[in-house]
Amino acid sequence: MVDLIAIQEEQITWSERNFGKQHARYPLLGLIEECLEFDEAWKLKEEALQGGGAQLAKYLADVDDAIGDIGIYMLDYCGKMGLQLNDLWKSREFLDERMHTRWYDLVPLARRLAHHQLKGEQGIRGTPDDHNRAIERTCRAILAHLELVCSHNQKDFLTIISAVWAQVRKRDWTKNPTNAHEVAAS
pLDDT confidence band for 182 (50 / 70 / 90)? very high
d(CA 75, CA 16): 13
Query: Whose CA is closest to 35, among 145, 166, 165?
Result: 145
**Amino acid letter for position 54:** A
Query: For 115, how many CA atoms within 13 A lie in the half-sphere containing its CB?
Result: 13
Judge whether residue 95 has pLDDT over 90: no
How far CA 107 is from CA of 101, 129, 141, in Å, comes to 11, 24, 12
User: At 18, is the pLDDT very low, low, confident or very high (cuts 50, 70, 90)?
Assistant: very high
Task: Kindly tell me if the per-residue pLDDT of 100 is higher than 60.
Answer: no
What are the structural domain ranges in the chain? 4-185
Say whether pTM exceeds 0.95.
Answer: no
What is the pLDDT averaged over residues 75-84? 97
- Average pLDDT across the chain, whole number: 93
pLDDT at 39: 94
14 vs 51 pLDDT, higher one: 14
Q: Higher-confidence residue: 98 or 146?
A: 146
Residue 3's pLDDT band (cuts 50, 70, 90): very high
Asked if residues 93 and 140 have their Cβ atoms less than 8 Å apart, the reply is: yes
Residue 5 has pLDDT above 80, yes or no: yes
Is the pLDDT assigned to residue 49 strictly greater than 70?
A: yes
